[in-house]
Amino acid sequence: MAAGRDELRAPGQAVPYEDELEASDSADDVSESAENPSENAEDLEDPGDGEGAVPEAGPQVKRVRVRRSVAGRRLDKYMHGRFPRISRTLIQKWIKDGEITVNDLPAKPSYEPKEGDIVRIVIPPPPPSEVVPQDIPLDILYEDDWLIVINKPIGMVCHPAYASQTGTIANAVAGYAERLSKGSDPFRPGIVHRLDKNTTGVMLIAKCDEAHWRVSLQFERRTVKKEYFAVVHGRVSLDGDVIHKPLAPHPDTTQRMILPGSIYPPRQAMFKEAITEYRVRRRYAGYTAVDLFPRTGRTHQLRVHMSSLGHPIVGDRLYGGRLVSERELSGEGSSLPLFEFQALHARRLRLVHPIQETPLDIEAPLPPHLARLTELLEGHRNDR
């Protein structure tokens, strides 16, 4: 159970995290009673707080004895009065999670503390403020004093979504590089752009802030040329075209994007411009290999755009793609899926070096699962 600093801080109040852990001696939660909650309670030393019992960086345990009951005062409001810098919402969560107990028993937020009750609260340690460096192997495509370009592996997210998450690209580069750009987010050191968890290929990392903002400016101005390789279902009829369809997050989930004209209320969706150019690389019986050139960088853009043409990317079940097996493609071999994610690879990245101001053109070879897919298509689905 981890809580962010903002959840433990009153709006507009900048105080050290450690100060927020102390019970208030001047609590002013009087919405249901004019009595000061600190006058109705006695702080106790927790048996587990002895020397060496709890690491300094670990959770803190506080125990409070209720001196007298106050009619109508709920447990969540009572504890908020004792710890006013912890939000009532977070206190309610801790009660439901069993981190706040009464007489060592679970309670409800609506419970009214009685005289003599012992309320125990376990307060988590402050979250880490930086990404944890990890020794995770990286496939380095290019490196100099200012940049690292990697071939991102399958199944790896780019940066932590929460403080304790590890095993990300950010953790790996923090363990590899002596220095990285800071950017605006401490959990994204060096991360200039992102790829989906199950998309492989070229990904650029900045070692210093100047390189970071200079490359970011190129992305913002759309002068970075990105090229992806994908295998889609069906036979794409045109040799190439430009898809110009705006995208917005699904109103009910952040894990999916939608197009205009969907059944979802437009007032709940904020559509942004999204443009993708595609070119057919090779047609096969029932499949097409395509090169994709995104002119914008929206979440799931390539996946949604190809699906909108009736040609979802192979393996992309979120947007209509199917899993395929060696037996389905060749008539023999295993009937198990070749892979269970989208057949999409960031093949090439072209930009101007942010410091040297020379052209930089980086390519990443196909990962084994896509190499095997194309091998099977060439050998058994040749449609020339």
Residue 63's CATH number: 3.10.290.10
Q: What is the mean pLDDT of residues 338-367?
A: 96
Domain-ending residue, one of 163, 197, 221: 221
Of residues 33 and 296, more confidence is placed in: 296
Q: What is the mean pLDDT of residues 12-38?
A: 33
Q: What is the mean pLDDT of residues 118-140?
A: 83
Span 219-269, pLDDT tens digits: 999 999 999 999 999 999 999 999 999 998 887 777 889 898 766 665 455
Judge if pTM exceeds 0.75: no
Question: pLDDT value at position 23?
Answer: 36
- Between CA 135 and CA 167 the distance in angstroms is 9
Please state, as a whole number, how many other Cβ atoms lie within 10 Å of the Cβ of residue 110.
Answer: 11
Span 135-159, pLDDT tens digits: 999 999 999 999 999 999 999 988 8
Question: pLDDT value at position 315?
Answer: 97
Domain count, the chain: 3
Domain with 65 in it: 6-123
- Answer whether residue 27 shows pLDDT above 50: no
Closest CA to 49 of 21, 19, 77: 21
In a domain, 45, yes or no: yes
Question: pLDDT value at position 61?
Answer: 86
Q: What is the mean pLDDT of residues 192-196?
A: 90
| Residue 99 sits in the same domain as residue 85 | yes
| Residue 180 sits in the same domain as residue 147 | yes
Give the domain CATH number at 231: 3.30.2350.10
Span 326-337, pLDDT tens digits: 999 999 999 999
Residue count of the chain: 384
Q: What is the mean pLDDT of residues 16-23?
A: 31
Query: Is the torsion defined by CA of 300, 305, 306, 308 positive or negative?
Result: positive
| Residue 79 sits in the same domain as residue 144 | no
Question: pLDDT value at position 164?
Answer: 66
- Answer whether residue 50 shows pLDDT above 50: no
pLDDT-based confidence at residue 29 (cuts at 50, 70, 90) = very low
Phi, psi angles (nearest 5°) of residue 275: -130, 130
Please state, as a whole number, how many other Cβ atoms lie within 10 Å of the Cβ of residue 380.
Answer: 15
CA count, 13 A, side-chain hemisphere, 290: 34
| Residue 74 sits in the same domain as residue 12 | yes
Of residues 113 and 255, more confidence is placed in: 113
Closest CA to 183 of 208, 157, 156, 151: 208
Question: pLDDT value at position 43?
Answer: 56
- Between CA 153 and CA 198 the distance in angstroms is 8
pLDDT-based confidence at residue 56 (cuts at 50, 70, 90) = very low
Of residues 350 and 97, more confidence is placed in: 350
Question: pLDDT value at position 163?
Answer: 62
| Residue 176 sits in the same domain as residue 92 | no
pLDDT-based confidence at residue 42 (cuts at 50, 70, 90) = low
Q: Which range has the top average pLDDT, 99-113, 121-135, 164-178, 285-299?
A: 285-299
In a domain, 1, yes or no: no
* Residue owning tokens 């040749």: 382
- Answer whether residue 28 shows pLDDT above 90: no
Question: pLDDT value at position 113?
Answer: 92
Which residue of the set 76, 117, 196, 316 is catalytic? 196
| Residue 75 sits in the same domain as residue 44 | yes
- Answer whether residue 131 shows pLDDT above 90: no
Question: pLDDT value at position 351?
Answer: 97
- Between CA 324 and CA 321 the distance in angstroms is 9
| Residue 355 sits in the same domain as residue 273 | yes
Of residues 1 and 59, more confidence is placed in: 59
| Residue 254 sits in the same domain as residue 158 | no
Domain-ending residue, one of 198, 221, 244: 221
Question: pLDDT value at position 361?
Answer: 97
Q: Which range has the top average pLDDT, 50-54, 123-127, 141-145, 166-170?
A: 141-145
28 catalytic residue (yes or no) = no
Span 77-88, pLDDT tens digits: 999 888 888 888
- Answer whether residue 1 shows pLDDT above 50: no
The two tokens of residue 321 are 């793609």
Query: Is the torsion defined by CA of 4, 5, 7, 11 positive or negative?
Result: negative
In a domain, 37, yes or no: yes
- Between CA 8 and CA 83 the distance in angstroms is 10
Question: pLDDT value at position 269?
Answer: 53
- Answer whether residue 20 shows pLDDT above 80: no
Mean pLDDT of the chain: 82
